[in-house]
Every structure is written in structure tokens, then in C-alpha cells.
Structure 1
Amino acid sequence: MFRARRRALAGLLCAAAVLPAAAVAGGAAARLQVLTVAGGELLVDRPLAGQARWCVAWNHSVAGFAVHDCYLWRDGTLWLERSHQPDFAAGLGHLAGRGVQRSDGQGGYWIEHIDEAVPGNALRLRVGAPAVAHRVLIDGERIDLSVLAARQAVWLRVVPPLQDE
């Protein structure tokens, strides 16, 4: 138990060390990072410009279609902004009072204006097998989390830019 905690702490400290070097090299910018929960291994580290938007997408385990949860980084806070669901399959649906459901014009729907702050600017995700294909979609890029960390728990977090003191 102690060894696992020490590895996790070491991994987080290593991940934290990446941020200052990146901030100095490329100007101060918030960073989207994906780290393994078990060991703190940094899997993804991307700069975010201004009010950045991206989605976490995956294939529904029963129906197989893509589901998207879309996030916004704004004013130092990570927000769940909207979600796209092509069907009312198991585990999906709109909850009254949580955003506005609108048709996507193709038989599915968007839940827009969810606008929920993500606690601690981080979310924990259990990455699915390759068939589930958990992925981050950002600036036209697809980062396949199921290739990087299938069946592992990861943190998807935004680290604010360093402030000059």
C-alpha cells in the first residue's frame, strides 16, 4: 500500500514538473493533461488557448454509436458544456433541469447549456477497451485513450497557467 502511494505521488510530482518547462518554453497557457490514476504516468499534455473546447467521446457499450461529452475551459474553470447522444440507449438521456435537449436533426439529440463546473478541474475516467474507443477530440486531433490506457483509470484535468509573482 505504501509503495503504491509513493509511486502515485512520484508520478504526480513528475507530471507537475512538466508544466513549468512547458510554460516557459511556449508561453503561459493552461494545459489539458491525462494521467494514470495508479501510477501518475503523464499520457497526454496539450496546451489550451483562451476559451478552449474539446470533447471526450466513446462508443456506447450496447448500441455501439458515439457519445460525446463536451467541455469548455473558461476563466480558470473546467465546465461540462454539452453532450451529444444519438439515441435514448441504456444509461443515456436528459435529466430535467440539467441543460436543454435539442434535436441534432439526425434522430439523436444534444443536451446543451449543461454548464456544470467540474470539481477540481479534473474528472476520473475508467478507459474502455479498444471497442469502446474512449478518445479526446481537440482542435481536429483525435487522442485515443483506449490505445494509451485501455481498462485503466485516468485523470483528465486542466492545469491553469503559472502566474508570475
Structure 2
Amino acid sequence: MTVWAIGRPVLAALFMALPAHASDALQAVTQDGHIVAELPFDGGEICLTWAHSVSGGAVADCFAARDGRLVLVGSFLHDYAAGLGEVANRGRVIPAEGGGYWIVEIDEPMPPDGLPLRVGPARVGHKLTGAAGVIDLSAIAENTRVTLRVRPE
């Protein structure tokens, strides 16, 4: 079962909560400035999904674009194992339909230059998912350091 099949009502509420500017898009950019992926926010959020490195369970971080900056608004975690779980004063935990849980209302701005990510191999399955579709980062940038950022204006 994918993250998208778990907790759809919660995910739908997250998509509706924080409208993005119509031209905002999330980019994955290499250290030399090459854009390997770009996905429009389309008025909602984009989630980075992957399999946890220890348990293999589904994990997601969901982002909005605010004032040209990436903001973490929610996370999905399959369980509390391997250091996962609630952090005091950082969102609110709610159970996800079908198992696992969402941490919602995080509202944590990412670094101004974006969020660095080492894209994992196929077994990790880093993907960007939004209303406009899915981009399999592991298929196009395996073992590459990218920065996730809001497309500069």
C-alpha cells in the first residue's frame, strides 16, 4: 500500500490548506545548477516519499511554497520505530487511515537555499508527488546530491 492510499482525507485537507502561487514549482537541482526535476505546486503541496532505510516502511514529507521558500507542512510515518515519531512543539500527530500516522501543522521553513537531499537508489524510491503528477527521483538522479527548492522568480 502506498502513502497515497493511506490517509487520503488528511492528505486532501493538507492540499487545500495552503494555496501556493500559481507559478510556484518545486525543483530538484544538482550542485552544478542542473535542474533534474520540476513539479508545479498547482495550488497545493508536493510530497517527497521514500522507503525508510531500516524498516522499509513508507515515509513522506509534504511541502508548500510560501514567499518563495519551501515549508514542511506535514509528514507521514509508518510507525514509531527507528527514531521516528512526535517531536515536542512540532505539529500534531493524527492516525492515518490504514495504519501509520501523520504529523500535521508542522509549518517549518526549510533553509533559504533549499533542502539538500542525497537521492537514494531504487530500493529507497525517492519520489515527488503532487497534483500535477509523480516524478521518480531515484530513477533519474540515483546517488546524486540535489537541493529541493521553490523555483526562483
Q: Same fold (TM over 0.5)?
A: yes
CA shift in 2, pair 1:46/1:109, >3 Å: closer
CA shift in 2, pair 1:33/1:136, >3 Å: same
Q: 1:43 aligns with which of 36, 39, 58?
A: 36
Q: Give the CA deviation at 1:121.
A: 5.5
CA shift in 2, pair 1:127/1:95, >3 Å: same
1:102-160 per-position Cα deviation (integer Å, ceiling 9, x unaligned): 11143311101000111215100011111000010011511111111111111111024
Separation in 1, partners of 2:34, 2:152: 19
- Tell me, yes or no, if the aligned pair for 1:78 and 1:121 is still in contact at 8 Å: no
CA shift in 2, pair 1:115/1:146, >3 Å: same
1:33 counterpart residue number: 27
CA shift in 2, pair 1:90/1:36, >3 Å: same
**1:53 partnered with 2:49:** no
Separation in 2, partners of 1:40, 1:76: 18
Tell me the TM-score normalized by structure 2: 0.78
2:16 counterpart residue number: none
**1:84 partnered with 2:112:** no
SS in 1 for 2:112: helix
Q: How does 1:1-165 map to 2 (within 5 A)?
A: 29-37=23-31, 39-49=32-42, 51-120=43-112, 122-139=114-131, 141-161=133-153
1:13-70 per-position Cα deviation (integer Å, ceiling 9, x unaligned): xxxxxxxxxxxxxxx8223211112x32211133444x43110000111211210100
Greater C-alpha Rg: 1
Gaps of 5+ in 2: 1-21
Which stretch shows the higher mean deviation, 110-119 or 99-108?
Answer: 99-108
Separation in 1, partners of 2:23, 2:114: 17
- Tell me, yes or no, if the aligned pair for 1:67 and 1:84 is still in contact at 8 Å: yes
Tell me the TM-score normalized by structure 1: 0.72
Gaps of 5+ in 1: 1-27
What number of residue pairs does the alignment pair up? 132
Higher relative contact order (CA 8 A, sep 6+): 2
Q: CA RMSD in A?
A: 1.8
Normalized per residue, which structure has more helix?
A: 1
The amino acid of 2:120's aligned partner reads G
- Tell me, yes or no, if the aligned pair for 2:41 and 2:132 is still in contact at 8 Å: no
SS in 1 for 2:139: helix
